[in-house]
Amino acid sequence: MGFFRLSHITNVFSISGFVQVISLLGLLLLLYKAVQYYLHRQWLLKCLREFPSTPSHWLFGNHIKDQDLQQILLWVEKFPSACSRWFWGNKAHAVIYDPDYMKVILGRSDPKPTRTYSFFTPWIGYGLLILEGKKWFQHRKILTPAFHYDILKPYVGIIADSVHVMLDKWEQLIGQDCPLEIHQHISLMTLEIIMKSAFSYQGSVQLDEEAKSYIKAVEVLTQRIYSRVRNAFHQSNIFYNLSSNGRSFYHACQIAHEHTDRMISMRKAQLKNEGELEKVRKKRLLDFLDILLFAQTEDGKSLSDEDLHAEVDTFMFEGHDTTASGISWIFYALATNPEHQQKCREEVQNVLGDGTSVSWNHLSQMPYTTMCIKEALRLYPPVPAIGRELSTPVTFPDGRSLPKGFLITLSFYGLHHNPRLWPNPEVFDPSRFAPDAAKHSYAFLPFSGGRRNCIGKQFAMNELKVAVALTLLRFELLPDPTRVPVLMTRTVLKSKNGIYLHLKKLK
């Protein structure tokens, strides 16, 4: 009995001692984290002394949900060249929107911000968009021939066919005389174009349910990444994976991967056929997916399965979502500027007649339409911003500087709406892109610039031109004044309430 009492007392003593030690350690850790947090915040404040900002909340920074673009316009007006942006307590970026600043950053080889871009990797892996260093260079070299103009030339026919499928569908739908949400149709069309051209896909995509679920999955993925970047509690993988946002992100990843896996398996199966393999062997230049399947690195090895899937996931996303945004906003810009729409239509009619045949050569004969496309890309850049993490300190031409490790947002939206570069920036004025119009070479960057510029730029421009030309031959585009689009950024530029237009069939 006496022994029992003694051991009981010792136990209680040791448990409470243990709890005390743990509490003390916990407290020390908390204190250490608080000091670390404080010092980092002081460092940020010191670095950003010369980069002003509007007042920010200690926890929410200066982020207001879905107001990023409106906020940028405010900053561009108020703070010349650059400002700072606080996400929360100790997360801040310098935001730049001045052509000289852009030139400095895009002329360097700073990496993309590891943390933010890592949110994409469960979905698109380490493909060209995310890769860095030697491996990025190797992949860029392997993939550049897929965008050679001899490869792009025959794609014009594929693009035209897909545009006609969409326009035929629109003819059926507009009988009901109500405005049409165009972005969803355009997304299916651009997905079909990238699948048929870069991935040698031969089926129809625009009526396919599986393609619709891929597009829905991309919508979820880009939305989840957008909110994760802005949520302090979703930075850690452990907490994120347990959250409902995290779970729906991984579910959407699975749907996207099923789509791209199917594409790879189908092409591999086709290539088992001797005839198809022979056709590929005879080609001087290969399509994108065939390049990947036959690629050999400098040490003579094929691309790993992981690398192959990452590139396919990257190009499937980049190759359709950006162009869908581009085409949708160009149509909106033309609908709201009917006099320019009509001028483009007249030009296209002169070049293409009734549009039954469109070729590569036609695309350089539409200067006014090209000016309008560029002006729409200025007002509505499909990729509104990108990021960099400084690998060495930088000093900008006006003497302001930032240290190594600092995060920079290159706001193309801010740049394109900067009144110091573009007088009356909100006015649609294609003459800004007239051949004799003078402008800074870094004032217009829808496809970014420097060594990490868009590899699909030419492909995209061809697609935009064909889509605009063929659509204007068939329809007059009119805005729906009851549903003005509300811009929001989801990696690419979207509208919160869709893009609704009235389409009037031309005689």
Residues at the contact surface with ligand HEM, assessed by CB under 6 A: 112, 128-129, 140, 314-315, 318-319, 322-323, 326, 382-383, 386, 446-448, 452, 454-456, 459-460
The residue (of 89 and 452) whose beta carbon lies closer to ligand HEM is 452
Residue 459 Cβ, how far from ligand HEM at the closest point, in Å? 5
Residue 177 Cβ, how far from ligand HEM at the closest point, in Å? 31
The residue (of 170 and 447) whose beta carbon lies closer to ligand HEM is 447
Distances (CA, A) of 485 to 7, 226, 324, 464, 502: 74, 19, 15, 20, 14
The residue (of 456 and 479) whose beta carbon lies closer to ligand HEM is 456
Closest CA relative to residue 438, chosen from 458, 427, 422: 422
Residue 115 Cβ, how far from ligand HEM at the closest point, in Å? 14
CB 501 within 8 A of CB 477: yes
Residue 268 Cβ, how far from ligand HEM at the closest point, in Å? 21
The residue (of 332 and 459) whose beta carbon lies closer to ligand HEM is 459
Q: Rounded CA gap, 118 and 225, in Å? A: 10
Residue 59 Cβ, how far from ligand HEM at the closest point, in Å? 28
Closest CA relative to residue 461, chosen from 170, 137, 149: 149
- Cα 337 from chain centre: 26
Q: Is position 47 annotated in a ligand binding site?
A: no
CB 245 within 8 A of CB 233: no
For 483, the token pair is: 């549903």
Residue 160 Cβ, how far from ligand HEM at the closest point, in Å? 16
Residue 198 Cβ, how far from ligand HEM at the closest point, in Å? 6
Angle at 269 between CA 265 and CA 275, to 5 degrees: 145
The residue (of 348 and 386) whose beta carbon lies closer to ligand HEM is 386
Residue nearest to ligand HEM (CB): 456
- Please report, as a single letter, which amino acid is at residue 245: N
The residue (of 8 and 141) whose beta carbon lies closer to ligand HEM is 141
> Which residues are 85's β-sheet partners?
93
DSSP for 209-252 reads: HHHHHHHHHHHHHHHHHHHHHT-GGGSSHHHHHHSHHHHHHHHH
The residue (of 44 and 218) whose beta carbon lies closer to ligand HEM is 218
Q: Rounded CA gap, 199 and 313, in Å? A: 11
The three-class DSSP label of residue 278 is helix
Task: Write out the binding residues for heme.
Answer: 454
Annotated binding site: 454
